[in-house]
Amino acid sequence: DIVMTQSPDSLAVSLGERATINCKSSQSVLHRPSNMNHLAWYQQKPRQPPKVLIYWASTRDSGVPDRFSGSGSGTDFTLTISNLQAEDAAVYYCQQYYKTPLTFGGGTKVEIK
Amino acid sequence: QLQLQESGPGLVKPSETLSLTCTVSGGSISSTFYYWGWIRQPPGKGLEWIGSIYYSGITYYNPSLESRVTISVDTSKNQFSLKLTSVTAADTAVYYCARPAVTGFPYNWFDPWGQGTLVTVSS
């Protein structure tokens, strides 16, 4: 299985500041023939299902504010939330879809300071 | 707009079988070529992929659960189902059904998701 390790477990960020979440995979999720990283990011708020924010490591889903950005390749990935808003308080998960079993990171809780 | 809705008992006794159904509305399981999935989330914990099924019945399971899991599809009812046998307290979780974003490919991210249903394993 590909193990997804997120860091930190939680962070508190002031409104308008930047939040950075890291995700490391135990093996590369870069599909070399297509040069695409099989990595998605989700946001989950209490009592709601996860909502996809980013896929292919850096492609924002439709309607996702541009303050959310994804970067990285191979085994190391980052989700950055710029200009943090109150509604961004949530838990964030990364997921690899390079191979089955599909696996998720343990989650990072973002709180407003 | 595609919607998914989980249904089934909220309480299951230890050693018994958990059975859930996902009803799809706003689109047909049989005329679209997706691998429909089940994912679970224990209270306060992270997400675990259980498995996925193609409209034709092809399945992929998480090896950690494969010996206890069966996922099936009923295209006439536009539903797919999950059975998990010999449950223990460790199987207590919110169970989500979800559709992957890309057709014909089991290796996918999921969008959309159902709202989820809490299943508690307790005597």
Residue A93 has, within 13 A of its CA and on its CB side, a CA count of 24
Could you tell me the pLDDT band of residue B105, with boundaries at 50, 70 and 90? confident
Strands (DSSP E) found in B28-92: 35-41, 48-54, 59-61, 69-74, 79-84
Residues of chain B contacting residue A100, judged by C-beta atoms under 8 Å apart: 49, 60, 62, 106-107
pLDDT at position B32 over 90: no
Task: Tell me whether residues A100 and B110 touch, CB distance under 8 A.
Answer: no
* Residue A80, H or E segment: strand A76-81
A39-78 exposure pattern, b = at least 16 Cβ within 10 A, e = fewer: bbbbbbeeeebbbbbbbebbebbeebeeebbbebeebebb
Task: Please name the residues in contact with B27: beta carbons below 8 A apart, sequence gap of 6 or more.
Answer: B2
Q: Largest Cα–Cα distance of chain A, in whole Å? A: 43
Residues of B with CB under 8 A from a CB of A: 37, 46-49, 60, 62-64, 96, 98, 101, 106-111, 113-116
**Lowest-confidence pick of B26-40, B51-65, B90-104:** B26-40
Q: What is the pLDDT along chain A (113 residues), one digit of tens a residue?
A: 999 999 999 999 999 999 999 999 999 999 999 999 999 999 999 999 999 999 999 999 999 999 999 999 999 999 999 999 999 999 999 999 999 999 999 999 999 99
